[in-house]
Amino acid sequence: MNDLVIAKNISLSYGKLEVLKDVSFNIKENDFLAIVGPNGSGKTTLMKALLGLVPVDSGIFEFNASIDKKDIGYLPQSSFLQDKHFPATVKEIIATGLQSQSLFKFSKENEKEIRQISGLLDIKDLLSKKIGHLSGGQHQRVLMARALVKKPKILILDEPTSALDPKIREDFYSLIHHLHAHENVSIVLISHDLQSVNQFAKNILYLDQKVIFFGSVDEICTSEQLINQIGAQAVTSLCHREEHEHYIHT
Amino acid sequence: MNITSILELLTFPFLQRAFIVGSLIAISSSFLGIFLVLRKYSMIGDGLAHVSFATVALALLLNSSPLIVSIPIVIGASFLILKLSEENKIGGDAAIALVASTSVAIGVFISSLASGFNVDLFSYLFGSILIISQLDVYLSIVLSIVVISTVLYFFHDMFAVTYDIDFAKVSGIKTNRVNQIIAILTSITIVLGIRVVGTMLISSFIIFPTVIALKLQTGFKKTIAIAVMFSLFSVLTGIMISIIFDFPTGATIVLLNAILFIVASIFSILTKKG
Amino acid sequence: MKKVWILLTVLLLALAGCTNNQNETNDKLSVITSLFPQYDFVREIGKDKVDVSLLLSPGVESHAFDPTPSQIIAITQSDLFIYTNPEMEPWIDQIVENVKDDGTLILESSKGIQFIEGSHDHSEDEHDDEDHDDQNEQDEHDEDHLVDPHVWLDPLNAKIMVTNISNALIELDPENEAFYTENTNAYLAKLDDLNDTFEEVFNERPNDTIIYGGHFAFGYLADRFDLTILSPYTGFSPDAEPTANAISELIKTIEVKNIKIIFFEELIEPRVANVIAEQTNTTPMLLHGAHNVTKQEMDSNITYIEIMHENAEKLKEALNYE
């Protein structure tokens, strides 16, 4: 299994505040990596650094030769409230995920790409609706479409279900699972939702400014460092894997 | 005022130029307005006009063309505003206020070097849509072509940067370059706008039509189209009204914009309730 | 290093010497005037017995002028400060306050002149019937700025100013009374001459309409000789826009009367005049209001009389259409 991204000794401070300290991990092909940790532990910042949105003080991200910018999809933390008044249709928003283009009108190929992803995410009938006139779940699916329209190899999701109802959450996770299992997308999921992490993750990165644990879900049960950090009960809820049939589409 | 005297008035070159140049500047400004308003740079028109105060003072001191002196310096000021609002985490509005007030002070300073204000400076900044030279007409045509074609060419990137600048960066768009393009287009529109229609009109052209169109809550491209329509309407109707009632033309156009804004606000309140 | 210090010291002394020049103890009167005409008058009357300087630097527009602290100090150190009238120099109170105890004589050179009405921005449209009523209303509300301050542009008023100045010089320097009186009389004769020229131009003219693209200063001549002045600015403020009707009326008048010349004032970019000229068959021409002169003009020692003669020539040409 190839590494798609290797992070080596990433350190980052905002002024005197050390946000990330010597963080190393990697993302493999067909991975499902969950990044967990308390609030303010640097999870979002770590992903932003990986995406090139914030500069690091030291350390490096190494990308596999087969990966370039268009191969990384990004679903940032929810902008549901801000978008309420933004003047744009769903189609226009999804289109911003397409490669940079110089024409006012969409090409035939672009139209096709948008149609395909809207079909997959079941938002075809929302295309001409305003972004501010959607429900939370619909809004999230639109931004997923934006992240996926260029068929990325890696998809980074930052707290994707925090603003969603439990029922919608389930649907959302089955979608992610589908992408992982059937479309060969490596998933990197930042989440507080330990149950979902427990359900789907192959690997876990537990972050609290520095790496407390990085390894597979199997290894996590016996991680002493983690047990010391968050207590045995919390570790159990992370490592105990329940096989829920209906989350796995065949 | 009867129909024949109105028609007669329309044969005068100065009025024909007012219609043409007014429309061109209004359209160009409407194409830019949305990118500025949504990024919270609404006051940039006003701010750069203050910078023009200093550049025109400098030009008059050096006895050179205000247009040639102003354009590079105003572009520089707009870049400075961009930099200040990004790097120092102060908002666009604070950055604009900083640069604008400093420029006014510099303008006052320069004027004092010439031992006093030049009345010419004030009349330059006020301008009038009715006092437009043949050269101004050509410049306005060139400006509109440049602005509109640039916006269309970079439209996808400009929209992406306006909606979500982080995502745009991630998808490989050179966001700095896009911001600079918007800054340059805004600068030349302001500098030329001040010269041909005066400060009051150009500031309102950049903001009003866009704000009115936003009230109607529709898609991005549609919003720009509506803004263009509203700005054209306000120019053409404003000039006509000022002819019929002998009102000052520039002020009439701006006030018409204000009335349209009120109407659009009422409309959006009513449609929300309904 | 030592050489640098010597050079600096020499420079400093030289600078000190320069600034002291204004206060050299000699027996010449030191006079400062606000505007160019009075400056020229003092030159003619006082000649080499008076040191006169102009408050406005060459090329500076007079209407929005405000004296700096160093200029106010310079005035307090002079013997005589001559201004035009409170409408032209509204900042005169500042000066008066600062020189009260100091002994500088302050002269309002317009004393004794019969003022005529004008509007607050010095632009006029006396014979535009539509605005006549507006002007009367304005009279009732706006008492301060009723007066046209450009008194010096009528040679008869200039004579009164010259007399005022001459009296002031004599008061301060009685020893040279004969000298000043002789020069004054000679200059008054030249002004009479100038007046004759204007009478010739205006009394024998075929027409009476002047087109002006800006702020008109020649109200006194217009009043005396019954000229019609038309300008796109019918409003009272320099910031007011000309209306479409005002401009079209102006253009129509120009075409109907076949007017060939549109005037503009000194020291500004004549945008309005140029644009109107572009659209009509007229030539833009400078009508020099003599508030101040350019550096070139100053260097070439131009005089009030020369400026006015030139103006007369141009007015003759302008009134000679049809």
Q: What is the pLDDT of residues C11-59, one digit of tens each?
A: 666 555 554 444 445 678 899 999 999 999 999 999 999 999 999 887 7
Are residue C137 and residue C168 in the same domain, yes or no? no
* B53, B103 Cβ separation under 8 angstroms: yes
Residue C308 lies in a domain: no
Residue C70 lies in a domain: yes
Q: Which chains touch C (3 or more CB pairs under 8 A)?
A: B
Mean pLDDT for B222-232 is 95
Mean pLDDT for B211-234 is 94
AA identity, residue A161 = T
More confident residue, C156 or C102: C156
Residue C82 lies in a domain: yes
Chains C and B touch (3+ CB pairs under 8 A): yes
Q: Is the pLDDT of residue C136 over 50?
A: no
Q: Is the pLDDT of residue A247 over 50?
A: no
Question: Which residues of chain C are at the B interface, by a Cβ-Cβ cutoff of 8 Å?
Answer: 56-57, 59-61, 63-66, 68, 238-245, 247-248, 251, 267-269, 271-272, 274-276, 278-279
Identify all chain B residues contacting C268, using CB atoms and an 8 Å cutoff: 118-120, 123
DSSP string, chain A: --EEEEEEEEEEEETTEEEEEEEEEEEETT-EEEEE-STTSSHHHHHHHHTTSS--SEEEEEE-TT--GGGEEEE-S--TTGGGG---BHHHHHHTTSPP---SSPPHHHHHHHHHHHHHTT-GGGTTSBGGGS-HHHHHHHHHHHHHTT--SEEEEESTTTTS-HHHHHHHHHHHHHHHHHS--EEEEE-S-HHHHHHH-SEEEEEESEEEEEEEHHHHTT-HHHHHHH-HHHHHHHH-----GGGS--
Are residue C131 and residue C168 in the same domain, yes or no? no
% of chain B beyond a pLDDT of 70? 94
AA identity, residue B250 = G
Min Cα distance B222 → chain A (Å) is 9
Are residue C32 and residue C158 in the same domain, yes or no? yes
Residue C53 lies in a domain: yes
**Distance separating alpha carbons of residues A77 and B60, to the nearest angstrom:** 52
More confident residue, B186 or C56: B186
**Distance separating alpha carbons of residues C149 and C90, to the nearest angstrom:** 11
Mean pLDDT for A5-12 is 94
* pLDDT (0 to 100) of residue A15: 85
The lowest-confidence range among A72-86, B220-234, C230-244 is C230-244
Q: What is the pLDDT of residues A111-138, one digit of tens each?
A: 898 999 999 888 999 999 999 999 988 9
Residue C121 lies in a domain: no
Q: What is the pLDDT of residues B25-76, one digit of tens each?
A: 999 999 999 999 998 888 888 899 899 989 988 887 787 888 889 999 999 9
* B127, B197 Cβ separation under 8 angstroms: yes
Identify all chain A residues contacting B159, using CB atoms and an 8 Å cutoff: 88, 92, 96
Are residue C57 and residue C135 in the same domain, yes or no? no
Are residue C29 and residue C177 in the same domain, yes or no? yes
Mean pLDDT for B167-177 is 90
Domain count along chain C: 2
Structural domain range at position C226: 126-148+205-287
More confident residue, B131 or C186: C186
Q: At what angle do helices B175-215 and B119-126 cross, to 10 degrees?
A: 70
Q: Is the pLDDT of residue A250 over 50?
A: no
Identify all chain B residues contacting A132, using CB atoms and an 8 Å cutoff: 217
Q: Is the pLDDT of residue A245 over 90?
A: no
Identify all chain C residues contacting B248, using CB atoms and an 8 Å cutoff: 240-243
ipTM of this complex prediction, to 2 decimal places: 0.87
**Distance separating alpha carbons of residues C126 and C137, to the nearest angstrom:** 14
Are residue C162 and residue C131 in the same domain, yes or no? no
- Say if the Cβ atoms of A99 and B172 lie within 8 Å: yes
* A97, A152 Cβ separation under 8 angstroms: no
Residue C31 lies in a domain: yes
- Say if the Cβ atoms of B114 and C247 lie within 8 Å: no
**Angle at CA of residue B246, ends B243 and B249, nearest 5°:** 65
Residue C223 lies in a domain: yes
- Say if the Cβ atoms of A87 and B167 lie within 8 Å: no
- Say if the Cβ atoms of C239 and B12 lie within 8 Å: no
Which chain B residue has its CA at the smallest distance from C68's CA?
B115
Are residue C82 and residue C226 in the same domain, yes or no? no
For A102, the closest of B153, B168, B172 (CB atoms) is B153
Identify all chain C residues contacting B133, using CB atoms and an 8 Å cutoff: 271, 274-275, 278
Are residue C62 and residue C184 in the same domain, yes or no? yes
Q: Is the pLDDT of residue C6 over 80?
A: no
More confident residue, A4 or A221: A4
Are residue C166 and residue C239 in the same domain, yes or no? no
Mean pLDDT for C281-309 is 89
* B185, B147 Cβ separation under 8 angstroms: yes
Are residue C174 and residue C139 in the same domain, yes or no? no
For B163, the closest of A53, A88, A150 (CB atoms) is A88
Residue A231: pLDDT band with limits 50, 70, 90:
confident
Are residue C106 and residue C244 in the same domain, yes or no? no
Residue A38: pLDDT band with limits 50, 70, 90:
confident
Min Cα distance A26 → chain B (Å) is 19
Min Cα distance A18 → chain B (Å) is 19
More confident residue, A57 or A220: A57
| Structure tokens, A225 | 């460092």
Instruction: Name the nearest CA neighbour of C319 among C263, C266, C269, C272.
Output: C263
Mean pLDDT for B78-94 is 83
- Return the CATH number at C249: 3.40.50.1980
Mean pLDDT for A153-173 is 87
Q: What is the pLDDT of residues C181-205, one digit of tens each?
A: 999 999 999 999 999 999 988 887 7
The continuous run of DSSP H or E covering C229 comes out as strand C228-230
Residue C141 lies in a domain: yes
Largest CA distance in chain C: 78
Are residue C77 and residue C35 in the same domain, yes or no? yes
Reduce the DSSP state of residue C72 to 3 states and report it: helix
Q: Is the pLDDT of residue C283 over 60?
A: yes
Mean pLDDT for B168-194 is 92
Question: Which residues of chain B are at the A interface, by a Cβ-Cβ cutoff of 8 Å?
Answer: 34, 38, 152-157, 159-160, 163-164, 166-173, 213-214, 217-223
**Distance separating alpha carbons of residues A185 and A187, to the nearest angstrom:** 6
Q: Which residues pair with B177 in a beta bridge?
A: none
